[in-house]
């Protein structure tokens, strides 16, 4: 038993931690709890109403009974006094003869009796002179009721709290009713008030019994409602959960998954429609896959087939280019343009072949420890001539320590070179900054330019193949439009991030983040995506 309690206590933090998630995800649990709470509220309101009606009915019945009995006792006393000659009887003796029969009958019928002093004296029961049932506390008679009988008044009653000095048989302490009625004694011709005190103990016991009965009936009723709600919602939620699982498997690529159809109700028709949708999606996805496969094969075949003729054209172009001194100016210029365009065409073929390798899943990594600081300096040296041609310069901000990551140095250099040349194209003669950083999890390079920037939504489109923010803008670096797409594929091959930020007129920043060790999942980058100067002006 102790071991079971210990294991439950150990699991309690886990239960509390997963409880909110279960509440958010489970429609069935929310429906059951909501139904039980609403049912409990309805049962509580109905129970309270019934209790009030029962209480009022019991009290009204009890009041009518005790008032009638009190009036009957008072009338009997009046009849007895009317039969007694007033001058022949002593006042005190007549009071005693009046009260003692009432007290005796009260002991057997369950009520107490109090006879007040003469009304004309204006005295209270607490002042003394009253005759009453033994061991009764006279404070049981409320002063408000006494004040009502300071002069001649008809029968009146009120609720009270009965108090006794010792236990009185048939009259327990607690809530009760006191009824007042007046009589005139022939001995002194004065008015006296008779108070009859009745207990409400039986009514309280009846109310307690009704309350227990309603509670005993209400708890199983709520449990029954919870069970029925659980079963009803289960019939609805179970097909939805099955549809969710099938949808997840469809999203994972298992396009042959289908829902099981049972019956002809709304859920069955929903399952049929879902299956039809899945079949149509499967057909369209297969068509797109086939089209994509044919497209990749076409690109790969064309790229390979163009290798041979382009090599022949290159050889002829080299011969013509070397013979420029012997050609006329127009032909020599044509030879230069031919050489330049052949260079660009070969670069485009290389990029297309690289893209086809990524599409075919044939790209592999030749991983080694790579210092991103060295990579940045090599890329800056390679692009210095292009930067000088564009009237800008590339500035490297070193962190002062190596930033090493396990990566393919050729692919990382290609990524950084594409980012720097892209920044040179859009720098607008302003300086380009290269930031490098690393922490225990990853290493990063950020390339910042202060050129035209990117518009809203363009930071995601910039990695699309052949996409350009401004189609009318010339490519001064001779790019093919595939550089950033290849860079993104190279980054994904490392399990890293390649992200872009930009703002019109304020430039752009591209950030490459690589895990320190291949296979490690990135959770953050050591460099911010939004530049510090952009955050200050925001």
Whole-number Å distance between alpha carbons of 128 and 418 = 112
Query: pLDDT by residue (tens digit) across 371-409?
Result: 999 999 999 998 898 888 888 999 999 888 989 999 999
Tell me the pLDDT band of 455, cut-offs 50, 70 and 90: confident
Using the CB atoms, write b or e for 459-477: b if 16+ within 10 Å.
beebbeeeeebeeeeeeeb
Spatial contact of 395 and 446, defined as CB atoms under 8 Å apart = no
Per DSSP, the chain holds a count of helices (H) and strands (E) of 13, 12
Query: pLDDT by residue (tens digit) across 53-87?
Result: 999 999 999 999 999 999 999 998 888 888 766 54
Whole-number Å distance between alpha carbons of 106 and 113 = 7
| DSSP H stretches of helix in 252-370 | 266-322, 329-360
* Tokens coding 360: 């075919």
Measured in degrees and rounded to the nearest 5, phi and psi for residue 39 equal -65, -40
Higher pLDDT, residue 375 or 255: 375
Higher pLDDT, residue 364 or 142: 142
pLDDT value at residue 471: 52
Name the most confidently modeled range: 29-38, 280-289, 295-304, 461-470: 29-38
pTM above 0.75, yes or no: no
pLDDT value at residue 372: 93
Q: Of 310, 317, 252, nearest to 285 (Cα)? A: 252
Whole-number Å distance between alpha carbons of 169 and 430 = 108
Task: For residue 136, give the 3-state DSSP assignment.
Answer: strand
* Tokens coding 400: 């002062």
* Tokens coding 263: 């019956």
For the segment 325-329, the average pLDDT, to the nearest whole number, is 82
**Strand order across the 394-397 sheet:** 394-397, 432-438, 442-449, 507-515, 497-503
pLDDT value at residue 315: 84
Given a cut of 70, whether residue 32 has pLDDT beyond it is yes
Spatial contact of 446 and 527, defined as CB atoms under 8 Å apart = yes
Tell me the pLDDT band of 416, cut-offs 50, 70 and 90: very high
Whole-number Å distance between alpha carbons of 438 and 445 = 9
Whole-number Å distance between alpha carbons of 285 and 399 = 48
Query: pLDDT by residue (tens digit) across 180-233?
Result: 999 988 887 888 899 999 999 999 999 999 889 888 888 888 889 888 888 888
Q: Please tell me the class of the 86-200 domain.
A: alpha beta
Please state at what angle helix 409-426 crosses helix 483-494, rounded to 10 degrees: 140
Q: What is the DSSP string of 367-392?
A: -EEEEHHHHHHHHHHHTHHHHHHTT-
DSSP H/E element including 445: strand 442-449
Q: Of 194, 162, 193, nearest to 177 (Cα)? A: 162
Dihedral angle of Cα 413, 418, 422, 425, to the nearest 10 degrees: 80
Give the residue extent of every domain in the chain: 86-200, 263-363, 366-537
Tell me the pLDDT band of 160, cut-offs 50, 70 and 90: very high
Higher pLDDT, residue 202 or 319: 202
Q: Name the pairing type of β-strands 404-407 and 394-397.
A: unpaired
Using the 8-state DSSP alphabet, how is residue 427 labeled?
Answer: S
pLDDT value at residue 19: 66
Architecture field, domain 366-537: 2-Layer Sandwich (3.30)
Q: What is the DSSP string of 208-244?
A: HHHHHHHHHHHHHHHHHHHHHHHHHHHHHHHHHHHHH
Given a cut of 60, whether residue 537 has pLDDT beyond it is no
Task: For residue 149, give the 3-state DSSP assignment.
Answer: coil
* Tokens coding 162: 């009965």
Whole-number Å distance between alpha carbons of 73 and 105 = 9
Whole-number Å distance between alpha carbons of 88 and 86 = 6
Residues in the chain: 538
- Choose the weakest-confidence range: 50-64, 285-299, 373-387, 443-457: 285-299
Please state at what angle helix 201-251 crosses helix 27-82, rounded to 10 degrees: 170
Whole-number Å distance between alpha carbons of 132 and 168 = 13
* Tokens coding 15: 């239960």
pLDDT value at residue 459: 79
Q: Name the pairing type of β-strands 190-199 and 174-185.
A: antiparallel
For the segment 79-107, the average pLDDT, to the nearest whole number, is 79
pLDDT value at residue 363: 73
Whole-number Å distance between alpha carbons of 471 and 233 = 57
Higher pLDDT, residue 450 or 466: 450
| End-to-end Cα separation, the chain, in angstroms | 62
Q: Please tell me the class of the 263-363 domain.
A: mainly alpha
pLDDT value at residue 64: 93
Tell me the pLDDT band of 270, cut-offs 50, 70 and 90: confident
């Amino acid at each position: 038993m102790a071991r079971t309690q210990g294991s439950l206590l150990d699991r309690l933090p886990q239960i509390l931690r997963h409880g909110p998630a279960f509440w958010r995800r489970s429609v069935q649990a929310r429906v059951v709890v909501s139904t039980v709470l609403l049912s409990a509220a309805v049962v509580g309101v109905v129970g309270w109403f019934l209790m009030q009606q029962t209480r009022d009915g019991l009290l009204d019945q009890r009041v009518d009974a005790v008032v009638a009995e009190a009036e009957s006792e008072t009338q009997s006393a009046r009849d007895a006094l009317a039969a007694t000659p007033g001058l022949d009887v002593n006042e005190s003796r007549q009071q005693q003869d009046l009260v003692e029969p009432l007290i005796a009958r009260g002991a057997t019928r369950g009520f107490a009796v109090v006879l007040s002093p003469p009304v004309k004296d204006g005295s209270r029961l607490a002042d003394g002179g009253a005759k009453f049932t033994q061991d009764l506390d006279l404070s049981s008679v409320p002063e408000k009721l006494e004040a009502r009988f300071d002069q001649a008044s008809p029968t009146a009653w009120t609720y009270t709290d009965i108090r006794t000095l010792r236990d009185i048989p048939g009259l327990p302490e607690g809530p009760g009713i006191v009824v007042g009625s007046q009589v005139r004694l022939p001995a002194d011709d004065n008015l006296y008030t008779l108070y009859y005190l009745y207990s409400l103990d039986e009514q309280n016991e009846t109310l307690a019994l009704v309350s227990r009965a309603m509670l005993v009936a209400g708890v199983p009723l709520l449990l029954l409602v919870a069970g029925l709600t659980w079963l009803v919602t289960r019939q609805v939620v179970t097909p939805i959960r099955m549809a969710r699982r099938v949808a997840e498997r469809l999203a994972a690529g298992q396009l042959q998954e289908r829902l099981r159809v049972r019956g002809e109700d709304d859920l069955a028709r929903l399952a049929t429609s879902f299956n039809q949708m899945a079949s149509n999606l499967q057909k369209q996805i297969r068509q797109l896959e086939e089209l994509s496969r044919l497209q990749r094969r076409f690109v790969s075949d064309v790229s390979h087939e163009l290798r041979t003729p382009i090599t022949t054209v290159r050889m002829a172009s080299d011969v013509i280019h070397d013979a420029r001194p012997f050609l006329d100016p127009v032909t020599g210029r044509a030879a230069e343009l031919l050489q330049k365009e052949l260079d660009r065409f070969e670069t485009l073929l290389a990029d297309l072949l690289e893209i086809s390798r990524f599409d075919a899943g044939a790209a592999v990594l030749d991983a080694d420890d790579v210092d991103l600081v060295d990579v940045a300096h090599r890329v800056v040296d390679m692009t210095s001539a292009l930067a000088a041609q564009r009237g800008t310069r590339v500035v490297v901000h070193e962190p002062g320590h190596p930033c090493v990551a396990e990566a393919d140095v050729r692919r990382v250099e290609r990524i950084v070179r594409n980012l720097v040349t892209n920044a040179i194209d859009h720098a607008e003669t302003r300086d380009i900054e290269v930031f490098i950083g690393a922490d225990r999890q990853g290493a990063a390079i950020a390339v910042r330019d202060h050129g035209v920037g990117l518009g809203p939504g363009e930071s995601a489109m910039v990695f699309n193949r052949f996409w350009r923010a401004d189609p009318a803008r010339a490519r001064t670096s001779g790019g093919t439009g595939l550089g950033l797409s290849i860079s993104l594929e190279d980054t994904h091959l490392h399990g890293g991030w390649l992200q872009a930020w930009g703002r019109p007129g304020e430039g752009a920043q591209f950030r490459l983040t690589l895990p320190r060790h291949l296979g490690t999942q990135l959770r953050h980058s050591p460099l911010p995506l939004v530049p510090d100067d952009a955050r200050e002006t925001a």
